[in-house]
Structure 1
Amino acid sequence: MADTSAASYPTVGGDGPYSYAHNSSFQRTGVESAQALINEGISENLDVKQLIFSSPSSPNSFSIADLGCSVGPNTFIAVQNIIESVKFKCLADDLCSEAVEFQVFFNDHVSNDFNTLFKSLPCDGQYFAAAVPGSFHGRLFPKASLHFAHSSYSLQWLSRVPKELLDKKSPAWNKGRIYYIGAPSEVFEAYSAQFAKDMESFLNSRAQELVNGGLMALIIPSRPVGIPPSQCPVIVIIDLLGATLMDMVNVVWTHASNIT
């Protein structure tokens, strides 16, 4: 079962100007950039004859899970690429791709806007779609039931805020920041330790859910080794966002104090 104790902070749903659907071009670039690598991985490592056409439990069936799907459209792009790549692999191995039925599981937190997601679902009928609400840091699927697990720009989000960051008596208390830039080393270590726990839980869960020979593709934003945070564009943007939020809080606090 999924770890329901994980904190849930979904992306902005709906189809409005501030929704994730209209503000995720950065993430879309990552999905599109990874397509060639995913195609190569499927071509070189996926045994479609064994996994699809010789499976006694689910013959001619191929199950895909997109973990941290949000509301689209990036999840549809990723899923479409995986399906097309599997079909191409079938043709390359002289197998009938038309005989394969695809099942796609769209996963995100229970508070995700699944209504918007399924309203914008492609109508070409290439796969059967289902929602799987819950945290991907725990079990979501039966053992040995997935052929391909995909996650893009989701695993960098921690399951919860490390408790040390909220403890005023802790050296890792991260007062006045939303990130670790300029913070004591204890702050970085707290974030790092939580990330290690989350990744261990995620990988252990997927190890049980993937079939023998199944594949997994994970797209995670990262900082190159040796590059300081101050020179990493994504981190600089987050630092700027943090400073902006603090300014907003201070303005509101000052205004409230003047009123009282």
Structure 2
Amino acid sequence: MEETEAVAYTITGGSGQYSYSKNSNFQRKAADAAKELINKSIAEKLDADILSSSNTFRLADLGCAAGPNTFVAVQNIIDALEQKFQNQEKISHPPEFQVFFNDHASNDFNHLFTTLPQERRYFAVGVPGSFHGRIFPRASLHFVHSSYAANVFSRLPKEVMDRKSPAWNKGRIHYSNSTDEVVKAYETQYAKDMESFLKTRAEEIVHGGLLALIVPGRPNGTPHSEAFVNRTCEVLGSCLVDVANKGMINNELVDSFNVGTYFASPQEMEAVVKRQGCFSIEIIESVPLERARPKEISSTLRAGMGGTIKEHFGEEILDELFDLFYKKLEENSSFIYDSGNAISLFVLLKRVATE
């Protein structure tokens, strides 16, 4: 069987009704909830010699999308860094800041850069490309941030797309509430991608530099089928089946569509970091997510995945699909939220010297 294609979700760019820039408040809340942890990370975990090692402090936001959340996250980091500099008596001249905004080449960088804050205190650079590979020179970054992006696979597990495989994910679009074989395929792909992600970042981050990840996850011991984020994927999959049953799309199109994301527990994240070996775990905390209304969830998912769904199924199903999705969210809101498992993971890692 041929290798599956790389996962590159196409967000809805621009500033229209369904654009990511107008429908990413859910992700904004996660970043806001982690602000104090970012402040703590820089105040307590960033070594003083990192601050004085260069005239330019370089930080990157991986999976920046088209704004505006990336600007908020970057400004939070810049504010914390400036406060850290002020508290260091040995540093008479704080460095300048250079910020690298990274996402896939298909990202709407035009909108991103036309909406850059005018009063920013940093030099902005766009870096297109998948963060699953090298995108920066060796030992060039001091701080790397990524929010709601590192949980996206480099590519789909090939087993779930193979009709002859026990893990063929017929009639479903995700591993949530699927067979053990499908779950195992997703778990394996997650571990492989995260280890590769960390290895790549270890080449790009200076020794003592920090990597901060904010990712949707699930509490330790929570079954995949009970996690909030997985339940929303399950509802979306049922809506695609309904659209197929109405004759708007072919059932085989549904069988060939899978969402390439995985929502790890703190234990899983910790295990991957320890296996990879290039980073120490400084902080790993579960951050509860504020309950979102069905309309917000629906508009967020359409802005984030609408382009990908359009490419696979065609534009004509989008209104019908997300109308169904919104209605099912309202009808099943207690089921989606009743377990209290709506969390983000905040993970702070420090690059350590390795032999």
Aligned residue in 2 for 1:258: none
User: What pairs up with 1:1-260 in 2 under 5 angstroms?
Assistant: 6-48=6-48, 50-53=49-52, 55=53, 59-94=54-89, 99-253=94-248
SS at match of 2:97: strand
CA contact (8 A) 2:176 2:233 kept: no
In 2: Cα distance, 1:224 partner to 1:201 partner: 24
1:97 to 1:193, Cα distance in 2 relative to 1, 3 A: farther
The residue type equivalent to 2:51 in the other structure is: I
Cα deviation 1:20-50 (Å, max 9, x = unaligned): 11111111111111111111111112124x2
Please give the TM-score of this superposition, normalised by the length of structure 2: 0.66
Please give the TM-score of this superposition, normalised by the length of structure 1: 0.89
In 1: Cα distance, 2:204 partner to 2:132 partner: 13
In 1: Cα distance, 2:158 partner to 2:215 partner: 24
CA contact (8 A) 1:52 1:61 kept: no
Identity of counterpart residues, as a percentage? Answer: 54
Tell me the CA shift for residue 225 of structure 1: 1.8
Cα deviation 1:216-240 (Å, max 9, x = unaligned): 1001111112223443222211111
Q: What stretches of structure 2 of length at least 5 have no aligned partner?
A: 251-355
The alignment yields a C-alpha RMSD, in angstroms, of: 1.8
The residue type equivalent to 1:22 in the other structure is: K
CA contact (8 A) 1:146 1:209 kept: yes
Tell me the CA shift for residue 181 of structure 1: 2.5
In 2: Cα distance, 1:152 partner to 1:109 partner: 15
Length, aligned pairs only: 246
In 2: Cα distance, 1:103 partner to 1:223 partner: 34
SS at match of 2:246: helix
CA contact (8 A) 1:108 1:132 kept: yes
Q: What stretches of structure 1 of length at least 5 have no aligned partner?
A: 256-260
CA contact (8 A) 2:143 2:210 kept: yes
1:141 to 1:171, Cα distance in 2 relative to 1, 3 A: same
The residue type equivalent to 1:82 in the other structure is: I
Tell me the CA shift for residue 8 of structure 1: 2.0
CA contact (8 A) 1:151 1:219 kept: yes
The residue type equivalent to 1:196 in the other structure is: A
Cα deviation 1:134-167 (Å, max 9, x = unaligned): 0101111011100000000001111111111111
1:230 to 1:182, Cα distance in 2 relative to 1, 3 A: closer
Runs of 4+ in 1 over 4 A off after TM superposition: 95-98
CA contact (8 A) 2:177 2:225 kept: no
In 2: Cα distance, 1:254 partner to 1:219 partner: 35
